[in-house]
């Protein structure tokens, strides 16, 4: 994403929902749930997704494991169980979780991060995966 150009992004709204991705309802649901956000990023990072899959079974928050540092992410990281990608149930679960957290790990799927700007959401996205990697490395020493 560091090499992405503005032309690599698609501005979405309710009118072009069918033209973008099967996950459009997930994105729009975040905006509807949180009028304070200006960007939604949905990625599929390996480490945090795998950790989320394990943690979802234990009903724990990743923030309690230190994934909020070092970028000073003040919000918690919610973890939801697996839902079929592109489904309305997934969009609804993410919308519910995003009301209380800026970051939602979707077990066995990926990550959704919101921010006031694309830059802020991107920074949180990178920081979460980096911190998940550090936590994993600590756990296997």
Q: Identify the bridge partners of residue 43 per DSSP, sorted by sequence position.
A: 111
Superfamily (CATH H level) for 6-139: Class II aldolase/adducin N-terminal domain (3.40.225.10)
For residues 79 and 101, is the Cβ–Cβ distance under 8 A? Answer: no
Q: What are phi and psi of 103, to 5 degrees?
A: -130, 130
Supply the DSSP symbol for 98: H
Both tokens of 98, joined, read: 């995003």
Q: Across residues 70-81, what is the average pLDDT?
A: 63
Q: Which residue has the tokens 């918690």?
A: 76
Between the CA of residue 82 and those of 31, 63, 123, 135, 141, what are the distances in Å? 21, 19, 25, 22, 29
Structure confidence at residue 56 (pLDDT): 67
Sequence-ordered list of residues with C-beta below 8 angstroms from that of 32, at least 6 positions apart, any chain: 95
Q: What is the pTM of this model?
A: 0.81
pLDDT, one tens digit per residue, over 3-50 is 777 777 766 666 665 556 788 889 999 999 999 999 999 999 988 888
Cα–Cα dist 122/4, whole Å: 11
Cα–Cα dist 104/129, whole Å: 12
Q: Identify the bridge partners of residue 113 per DSSP, sorted by sequence position.
A: 41, 103
Domains in the chain: boundaries:
6-139
């Amino acid at each position: 994403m560091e090499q992405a150009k503005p032309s690599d992004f698609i501005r979405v709204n309710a009118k072009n929902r069918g033209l973008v991705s099967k996950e459009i309802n997930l994105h729009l649901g975040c905006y509807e749930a949180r009028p304070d956000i200006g960007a939604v990023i949905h990625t599929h990072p390996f480490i945090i997704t795998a950790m989320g899959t394990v943690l979802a079974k234990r009903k724990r928050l990743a923030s309690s494991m230190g994934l909020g540092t070092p970028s000073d992410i003040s919000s918690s990281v919610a973890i939801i169980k697996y839902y079929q990608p592109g489904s309305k149930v997934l969009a609804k679960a993410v919308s519910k979780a995003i009301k209380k957290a800026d970051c939602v790990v979707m077990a066995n799927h990926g990550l959704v991060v919101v921010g006031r700007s694309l830059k802020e959401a991107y920074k949180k996205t990178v920081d979460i995966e980096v911190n998940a990697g550090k936590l994993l490395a600590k756990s296997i020493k």
